[in-house]
Amino acid sequence: MPRGVTPRQPSRSGRQDKVSSRPLPTTVKVRRVAPVVKTADKVVAPMAARRAAPKKFATKTTAATVKGYNPLARERVGEILKRLDERYPRATCALHHKSAWELLVATILSAQCTDARVNMVTPVIFAKYPTVEAFAALKPEGLEPDIRSTGFFRNKSKSVVGAARKLMSDFGGQVPRTMDELLQIPGVARKTANVVLGTWFKIADGVVVDTHVQRISRRLELTKNDDPQKIEQDLMKVIPRDKWIIFAHQIIMHGRALCIARKPKCVDCPLENLCHAADKTWSTVEIHKSAKP
Ligand code: SF4
């Protein structure tokens, strides 16, 4: 017998398929058989074994094909938060500051720049211009040389001097404590406002969405959106309010330490068996196309 040819087996009913074109009587029960879905081995090996094991991926699939899987399930989100607490218990803002004003300036300067670089620049400018009034009295060009190394220095100079003038003219020289007021300040959008409100005033009015929060929230399927404002709204729905501030700090630390943009260090990640991201570098669970980088 040629290879690959299997003799046809007689049907159990004794009839061959499609012998009759008559519809089944309504009393006949048709048993539905669930399609076989290959699932990966979910057993998490000890770390040493995991490191030694070759890279392996489970069959690609989408979240919708995994029966009963809900990335936003309270238990799953709770487990993510628990593991983040264990891994980053003292997560906080990495920008050095001694006042709300210093934090506001540092956050404006941190756009497209590392916190380490900003932390080199801010002590110099705060020594040179120790008050909000001193910044407000500057021309933007006067600040440019001091902040040049943070990049986009012309726009940042305008924002910092503009912010100082706004505080002097409208807020008595003080950084306001509400989102609406903060958003009136030049150079301040929701991310900066959330940093100042959460880190300095301990007010949870939203979730800081920077590049790390944006990337990792998508990898963890906490959002499907690209737009930071929509991501923030999604996170505010699934993260309990009392976690909004620390969650962002933890995710930012996680993004720097392990869940980096290129080649995340999944083998060392405490969230590994909860994460189905399409660009994981190592996985013990199914990969979901919907969990995009
Ligand atoms: S498993 Fe990998 S992709 Fe997922 S959160 Fe951890 S480091 Fe990021």
Residue 264 in contact with ligand 1 by CB distance below 6 A: yes
The rounded Å distance from CA 219 to ligand 1 centre is: 7
156, 191, 243, 280: the catalytic one is 191
| Section 168-188 average pLDDT | 98
Residue 238 neighbours by CB distance under 10 Å: 17
The tokens of 121 are what? 């620049």
Task: Judge whether 210 counts as a catalytic residue.
Answer: yes
Nearest ligand 1 atom to the CA of 258 is 7
Identify the burial level of 104 via C-beta atoms within 10 angstroms of its C-beta, where 0-12 means exposed, 13-18 middle and 19 or more buried. Answer: buried
The rounded Å distance from CA 254 to ligand 1 centre is: 9
Q: Model-level pTM?
A: 0.78
66-80, 94-108, 149-163: lowest mean pLDDT where?
66-80
Residue with the smallest CA separation from ligand 1 atom 3 is 280
Q: Which residue shows structure tokens 């404002």?
A: 229
Kindly report, residue by residue over 84-139, the tens digit of the pLDDT: 999 999 999 999 999 999 999 999 999 999 999 999 999 999 999 999 999 999 99
Residue 210 in contact with ligand 1 by CB distance below 6 A: no
pLDDT of residue 77: 98
Residue from 141, 177, 175, 181 nearest 158 by CA: 141
Candidate of 216, 218, 250, 282 to mutate for ligand 1, largest count of ligand atoms within 8 Å of Cβ: 216
The tokens of 160 are what? 């910092």
Residue 204 in contact with ligand 1 by CB distance below 6 A: no
Q: Side chain identity at 236, as an amino acid letter?
A: M
The more confidently predicted of residues 122 and 290 is: 122
State the Cα torsion 183-185-189-194 to the nearest 10°: -70
Residue 191 in contact with ligand 1 by CB distance below 6 A: no
The more confidently predicted of residues 16 and 223 is: 223
29-38, 106-115, 135-144, 258-267: lowest mean pLDDT where?
29-38
Residue 108 in contact with ligand 1 by CB distance below 6 A: no
| Section 15-28 average pLDDT | 39
Residue 287 in contact with ligand 1 by CB distance below 6 A: no
CA angle 182, 218, 73 (to 5 degrees): 100
pLDDT band at 22 (very low <50, low <70, confident <90, very high): very low
210, 234, 243, 280: the catalytic one is 210
**Arithmetic mean of pLDDT over the chain:** 84
Inform me whether the pLDDT recorded for 41 exceeds 90: no
